[in-house]
Amino acid sequence: MDGRLILAGRRVDTGESQESINPATLEPVGRFSLGSPRDCDLAVQAAKSAFPGWRDVPAKERKQIFLRAKKILLERGAEVAETIAREKGGPPTENWSMEIFPVLEALDYYARAGVKNSRPRRSRPHIFLFYHKRSEFRFQPLGPTLIIAPWNFPFLIPAFDCLSALTTGNTTILRPSSTTALTGLLLGEIFLEAGLPPGVLNVIPCQTQYAEGLVTSPDVQTVMFTGSSVIGKKIMALASRNLTNLTLELGGKDPMIVCRDADVERAARGAVWGAFCNCGQSCGSIERAYVHTDIAGEFTERVTALTREIEVGDPLAEDTDLGPMTTLPQLRLVEEHIRDAVDRGAEVLCGGDRVSGLKGYFLRPAVLTKVDHSMRIMREETFGPTLPIMTFEKNEEAVDLANDSEYGLTASVWTRSRRTAAALADAIETGTVSVNDHMTTFPEPNAIWGGIKQTGFGRSHGPYGMLELMNIKYRSFDFARKKDLLWWFPYSRRTRSLFENAASLYHHPSAGRKARALGALAPRLGDILRKVPLLNFIRSIPGLFSK
C-alpha cells in the first residue's frame, strides 16, 4: 500500500510516518506519511492554484474523468474492499455493498449531474416594473474545499464529499482520519489514475493541530466535516475566524418506530441489519427502537434470535457478518453505555460482551429491553452494535419519544399503512426519514444527507448538497431604451403619489379602491411610459385580478 501523501498530483514522502493498525489483529497494516504544517500549506496552495483551471473545465470533460475513475474502481474493487477490511474491520462483502458499489453509482451520477447542474436557470421577475429585465441564476464554485473525513466509512464518505465538490468546480484538500488513512490515500490514487489534474485533489493525513491550521487558512473557502458534535463545534469556532462556508454532519441517535400493523418479520430483520451493520458505527444506524406494545413481544423475540445468529469474527473470513469495532476508545464507550443502562434497570437479552479467543476489538451485538430516556444508551450517540427496545401504545407517543433527542439526522417508520407512514414521516424531526427500510438514504446520490439540532447544519449529496458548495449568483440584464427609470432620483411628491396609487391598483383587496387608483394613474400614463416599458403594464394586467 502506498502511504505517501498526494500533493499537487505527486506522491510525497514527508519523512514522518505513522502505522495503521488492523483492529481485528492489532497488527500493522502499513505506514503512511504525516503532513507537516508546511505540507498542509502546500496542499492548500496547490488547490488554490489549480482552482481557476478546474473551475473552467467544461462539465463534459469532468464527466469523462469521473467515468474513468468508475472503471478504475471497478477493476480495483477487491483491493479497496480488502484495504477497508484491514484498516476498519468491516467484512469485504459489506465493504462492497456499503462503500464500493455506492461510490460506483455516485461516480456515474455526478458524471451526469455535473452537466445538468452547471446550466444557468432563467428567472422571471415578479415585480411588473422589472418585467423587461432578463434575469437568471448562475451557479459558480467557491474555491478550495477542505474535507475532513471520519474513519467509520473511510471510502464512502470522502468519495461522496469529494465528488460533490469536484462536480461543482471546486478543488479539494482531503484530510482522512489517521485511523484509516491508507483507504483515503487509495481514493486519491484512483482519481489521479483517472486523470484528475494536479492540485485538484490533495490527500494529506496530518495531526489534529495541523488540521486546525487547514480550517483557519484564509484560502480555504468551504469546510465539510463529518464527526462528533464536540469536534464539530470546535471547527465551527475556527471557521468563524474567516467566515468560511461550513457543512457539518455531527452524528445522530436515529429512532426506529415499529407500528402495530408492521410486518414483524421484515421489521425485525431490518432492525438487526440497521443497528448492527458496520458494527453499528454509523451516524445513520438504528440506535433506539420504539415498538407498539401489541407486537413488542413477537418483535423482540425475533430480533434476539436473529442477533444470536450473527457471526462475529475475522472480517476476511467468508462467513463473517460482523468484524471488530474500529477503535478501542469507541469499544469502551459502547461498554459504558451498556453498563449504565443495566445499572438503571435495563435487561440485556443477548450480546454486549467481548468475544473470547479473538485478539482485536470484538464485541457481540447487544439487544436490550426495559430501557428509558434516563439512560445514556437512549440519549447519547452510542456508535456501536447495540439495539435498545422501548414500547409505546399510541403513535403520537412514539413520535414524542423519537423527537426527544438533541440529534435529528435520520429515522425510519415501519408500517403497512401509507397514510400512517406519511403522517409519522412528517412529524419526526430529522433530515431524512425512510419507510420500511433504514440506512439507505446516504448511499443514494440523488438524495440529501444532513440533519438538524446537534446533528449540525447544511446538506451534502445530490442537487441540494451541491448548492452548499456554490455561489448562487443572480444576474439581471436591462437593455430597455430608457434614459431615466421611474424609481431613480430626483424624488418628488408626484412620484410618491404614483407609487401609492400603483400599490393600491395592484395590491388593495377592494375593487373600488383599485378603480380609484386607476383613475388617478390614467392622466399620468404618458409620464410613466417615458420611464417604464409599455409591455410591462400589458403583461401585468392579469395580475390585477389575482392579487
Residue range 429-441: average pLDDT?
Answer: 97
The pLDDT value recorded for residue 39 is: 98
Spell out a b/e string for 41-58, using b for 16 or more CB atoms within 10 Å of the CB, else e: bbbbbbbbebbeebeeee
Give the DSSP H/E element, type plus range, for residue 134. Answer: strand 134-141
DSSP 403-458: HSSSEESEEEEE-S-HHHHHHHHHHS-SSEEEES--S-TTT-TTS-B--EETTEE-
Answer whether residue 435 shows pLDDT above 70: yes
Please report, for the chain, the start and end positions of each structural domain, with discontinuous segments joined by +: 5-17+29-250+464-473, 254-442, 493-544
What confidence category does residue 115 fall into, taking pLDDT thresholds of 50, 70 and 90? confident
Listed range (137-146, 458-467, 523-532) with the worst mean pLDDT: 523-532
Name the β-bridge partners of 255: 288
Question: How many helices (H) does the chain have, and how many strands (E)?
Answer: 20, 22
Answer whether residue 547 shows pLDDT above 70: no
Which residue in this structure is represented by grid cell 448492527?
A: 276
CB 180 within 8 A of CB 88: yes
Answer whether residue 544 shows pLDDT above 90: no
For the record, the C-alpha cell of 449 comes out as 444527507
Question: Would residue 277 show up in a list of annotated catalytic residues for this protein?
Answer: no
The pLDDT value recorded for residue 480 is: 93
The pLDDT value recorded for residue 281 is: 98
Q: Which of 542, 547, 545 is nearest to 131 (CA)?
A: 542
The pLDDT value recorded for residue 528 is: 87
Query: pLDDT of 298-312, one tens digit each?
Result: 999 999 999 999 999
CB 359 within 8 A of CB 25: yes
Query: pLDDT of 24-60, one tens digit each?
Result: 999 999 999 999 999 999 999 999 999 999 999 998 9
The pLDDT value recorded for residue 457 is: 95
Question: Would residue 259 show up in a list of annotated catalytic residues for this protein?
Answer: no
Q: Which CATH architecture has domain 5-17+29-250+464-473?
A: 3-Layer(aba) Sandwich (3.40)
pLDDT above 90 coverage of the chain, percent: 94
Number of Cβ atoms within 10 Å of the Cβ of 219: 17
Active-site residue among 40, 283, 381, 468?
283
Where does residue 440 rank: exposed (0-12), middle (13-18), buried (19+ CB within 10 A)? middle
For the record, the C-alpha cell of 197 comes out as 489534474
CA dist 520 and 525 (Å) reads: 10
| Mean pLDDT value across the chain | 96
CA dist 288 and 271 (Å) reads: 10
The pLDDT value recorded for residue 543 is: 81
Pairing of strands 286-292, 254-258: parallel
DSSP 249-310: E----EEEEE-TTS-HHHHHHHHHHHHHGGGG--TTSEEEEEEEHHHHHHHHHHHHHHHHT-
Tally the residues of the chain: 547
Listed range (346-350, 393-397, 541-545) with the worst mean pLDDT: 541-545
Instruction: Give the list of residues 6+ apart from residue 498 with CB closer than 8 angstroms, or none.
Output: 486, 521, 524, 527, 528
Domains 5-17+29-250+464-473 and 254-442 share a fold: no
Active-site residue among 94, 249, 380, 381?
249
CA dist 385 and 291 (Å) reads: 19
CB 164 within 8 A of CB 460: yes
Answer whether residue 117 shows pLDDT above 80: no
Q: Does domain 254-442 have CATH number 3.30.40.230?
A: no
HEC string of 356-418 equals CCCCCCCECCEEEECCCCCCHHHHCCCCCCEEEEEEECCHHHHHHHHHCCCEECEEEEECCCH
Cis amide bond preceding 144, omega within 30 = no
Answer whether residue 82 shows pLDDT above 90: yes
The pLDDT value recorded for residue 367 is: 99
What's the pTM value of the predicted model, to 2 decimals? 0.96
